[in-house]
Amino acid sequence: MLKSLCEKNKWRNGKYHEENQYLHLISDIIEHGSLDNGRNGMTKAVFGAAMHFSLANGKIPILTTKRVAHKTCLKELLWFIKGDTNNEHLKEQSVHIWDANGSRVFLDSRGLKDRKEDDMGPIYGFQWRHFNASYMGCDADYTNKGYDQLQNIIDILKCPETRNSRRLVMSSWNPLQLEEMALPPCHVLAQFNVTDTNKLHCALYQRSGDVGLGVPFNIASYAFLTHLVAKHCGLEATDFSYFVGNAHIYDDHIDTLKTQLTRIPKEFPSIEIHTSRSNINDYKVEDFNLMDYTFHPKLTMVMRK
């Protein structure tokens, strides 16, 4: 039955809809995934999944078969870009996706009893901007400390003589600091690539993907990032390739995701970034305009910490 639902949704207005890659992954996991009792609950999982999304002409793959909290996603991305690790700064923007992992109880369970509440440790943004710098807390000044992976990529992309490099890699996975993080990173390695002198591509490898809740968010986040880097470097965002190692569905998400499989995808929205700022840290949510985002009703699932 799940397969027939996916086939029904495969075409829209005579065109294959890229969102069906996500729906097919749900179907594949439910029908063929292995049953695993993991760190935070029972899952069905497959290993090794791939999706490819066009970003040409401002398109952005924010899923439409349910509402994706795209503003929350963008606020978190801009938090990463600044190298920020203080969850209080997200709470001030009414973003609460890190609250459980920043709680006193959770930090203590990770052995981080000396870490103040809401200090997330050297997670994503810290590694993007200060890779392997000694972590001294979320309020410390890390100017010129560690390796700034993101700025290095930007500098290379802005130069026509170097932008075709095959070394434009940004890693969040730092084995030396995993135990200092509130949560080890799930999306671990991004690579940028330029073709035809100005077309920017991005590929992401994610070691672990919560298909019901996390994966839609991750697709949107790195699509936002690719559009932003393209704008900032004077390039054209072209496509986003997404690779997941362990792609899993929690057992209490299955029935909700079966409902999602009955929905026909709508057209993806488009994005416009109003201005090109001199520093990647200075972009604001107000600089982004998401256009024509239509979606099916929200689906509620419990997030595992």
186 is catalytic: yes
Q: Which two tokens stand for residue 12?
A: 């829209």
Q: Which candidate, 215, 19, 299, 255, places its Cα nearest to that of 9?
A: 19
Side-chain-side CA neighbours of residue 197 (13 Å)? 1
- Let me know: does 128 contact 81? Beta carbons within 8 Å: yes
Q: What's the farthest any 2 CA atoms get from each other in the chain?
A: 58
In three-state secondary structure terms, 182 is coil
d(CA 287, CA 273): 6
d(CA 189, CA 154): 16
Question: What phi-psi label fits residue 234: left (phi over 0), alpha (psi between -120 and 50 degrees) or beta?
Answer: left
Cβ-Cβ contacts under 8 Å for 43 (sequence gap 6 or more): 33, 35, 36, 248, 249, 250, 251
Q: Per DSSP, what are the bridge partners of residue 200?
A: 194, 237
Long-range contacts of 68-77 (CB under 8 A, 24+ apart): 68/216, 68/217, 68/220, 68/295, 69/217, 70/220, 70/290, 70/293, 71/285, 72/97, 73/217, 73/220, 73/221, 73/224, 74/221, 74/224, 74/285, 74/288, 75/285, 76/221, 77/221, 77/224, 77/225, 77/228
User: One-letter amino acid identity for 26?
Assistant: I
Catalytic residue among 6, 138, 159, 186: 186
Task: State the catalytic residues.
Answer: 186
